[in-house]
């Protein structure tokens, strides 16, 4: 979101500290009236030992249940998200359908789940995508580049292999607090194509990913944050980035390697653990000093009274 909701600053200013994962949220909160000194940036962690490309093999069985034969030459785009407007699935599909044809050796693999909805099977989502394709590009899915929706309940232990089976991770969302699938993919040496606005600006660079341009901000028309603004990801730029990954695979691999290095160097449990420990140590020292001061203030008046007697 582009600003702090009404009523939040007053409650936030009653707190001693507020930990946020990125500088983006820090600015939003300060601009909204939250005390700057109360805000501390504590990035989220990615388990770089679990999400380690050296420890798993590609599992094409997870992504190959499509109507064509996959090979090592197939360019696989993976997207992991909740099925909601904020994740901009329509932007993703429009760009993908514009970038490729049914003859291209590509597949867009979606791991998604219903958001406040009972419709959450892969078949349900494929039906929605089929309807969207007919409405937007006037073609059935069989005449468009391959799309495959995974079953929504992929075991967590299979996620590293799923990321490794992809050539790139892509998610043109309208806003992220952090972006957990993004950093998991980056830890797995996958180049990320994602909207360069909100939480993702904390860790995405031109060296480790493909930052996606936005056309600007647009108003949120429904939901809890109605009236706020979020990003309008560029379909045109997303199309260009999808094509670039396919046409320049060496560049994509290099970005993925840099992404892994950045996750290990900046967001591993060891690194963020030190950040958290530093804050906890500082807080304990502050609490101890405050308690000692309170005791001193409580003792002094009684001493004065005793002397006066």
Average predicted confidence (pLDDT) for the chain? 91
Does residue 13 surpass a pLDDT of 80?
yes
pLDDT of residue 260: 99
pLDDT, residue 309, reads: 36
Residue 60: which pLDDT band, with cuts at 50, 70 and 90? low
Please report, for residues 3, 27, 94, 240, the alpha-carbon distance to residue 7 in angstroms, rounded to integers and kept in the order given. 12, 17, 38, 41
Q: How is the chain split into domains, by residue range?
A: 1-42, 60-267
**pLDDT confidence tier of residue 153, bands split at 50, 70 and 90:** confident
Judge whether residue 185 has pLDDT over 50: yes
Look at residue 170 in the predicted model and tell me its pLDDT: 99
Phi-psi region of 88 (alpha: psi -120 to 50; beta: other; left: phi over 0): left
Q: DSSP assignment of 285-299, as one string?
A: HHHHHHHHHHHHHHH
Q: Of 109, 19, 106, which is closest to residue 68 (Cα–Cα)? A: 106
Quick check: 302 pLDDT over 70? Answer: no
Work out whether strand 75-83 and strand 39-41 pair parallel, antiparallel, or are unpaired: unpaired
Residue range 224-231: mean pLDDT, rounded: 92
Contact 176, 135 (CB under 8 A): no
Q: Contact at 8 Å (CB) between 69 and 107?
A: no
pLDDT at 299 exceeding the cut of 70: no
CA dist 212 and 195 (Å) reads: 4
Sorted by sequence, the CB contacts under 8 Å of residue 167 that are 6+ apart come out as: 75, 76, 77, 190, 191, 245, 246, 249, 252
Q: How confident is the model at residue 195 (pLDDT cuts 50, 70, 90)?
A: very high
Global pTM value: 0.91
Class of domain 60-267: alpha beta
The residue among 63 and 217 whose pLDDT is bigger is 217
Residue 250 pLDDT > 90: yes
Alpha-carbon distance of 137 to 152, in angstroms, equals: 26
Answer whether 231's CB lies under 8 Å from 174's CB: yes
Instruction: Determine contact, residues 41/22, Cβ cutoff 8 Å.
Output: yes
In the prediction, which pLDDT does 131 show?
A: 97
Q: Identify the band that residue 65 occupies on the pLDDT scale cut at 50, 70 and 90.
A: low
pLDDT class of 225 with cuts at 50, 70, 90 = confident
């Amino acid at each position: 979101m582009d600003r702090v909701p009404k009523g939040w600053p007053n409650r936030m200013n009653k707190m001693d500290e507020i930990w946020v994962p990125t500088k983006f949220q820090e600015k939003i909160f300060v601009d909204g009236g939250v005390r700057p000194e109360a805000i501390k940036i504590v990035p989220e962690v990615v388990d770089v030992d679990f999400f380690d490309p050296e420890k798993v093999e590609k599992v094409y069985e997870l992504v190959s249940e499509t109507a064509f034969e996959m090979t090592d030459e197939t360019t696989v785009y993976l997207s992991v998200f909740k099925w909601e407007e904020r994740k901009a699935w329509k932007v993703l599909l429009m760009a993908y359908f514009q970038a490729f044809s049914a003859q291209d050796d590509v597949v867009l693999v979606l791991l998604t789940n219903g958001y406040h909805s009972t419709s959450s099977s892969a078949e349900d989502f494929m039906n929605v995508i089929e309807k969207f394709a007919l409405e937007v590009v006037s073609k059935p899915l069989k005449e468009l580049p391959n799309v495959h929706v995974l079953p929504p309940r992929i075991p967590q232990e299979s996620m590293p292999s799923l990321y490794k089976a992809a050539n790139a991770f892509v998610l043109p969302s309208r806003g992220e607090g952090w972006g957990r699938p993004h950093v998991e993919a980056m830890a797995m040496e996958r180049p990320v194509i994602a909207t360069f606005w909100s939480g993702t600006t904390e860790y995405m660079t031109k060296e480790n990913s493909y930052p996606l341009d936005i056309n600007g901000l647009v108003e949120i028309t429904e939901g809890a944050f109605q009236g706020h603004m979020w990003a309008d990801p560029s379909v045109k730029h997303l199309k260009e980035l999808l094509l670039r990954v396919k046409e320049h695979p060496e560049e994509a691999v290099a970005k993925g390697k840099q992404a892994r290095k950045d996750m290990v160097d900046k967001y591993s449990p060891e690194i963020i653990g030190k950040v958290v420990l530093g804050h906890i140590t500082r807080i304990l020292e502050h609490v101890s000093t405050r308690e000692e001061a309170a005791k001193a203030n409580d003792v002094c008046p009684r001493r004065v009274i005793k002397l006066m007697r």
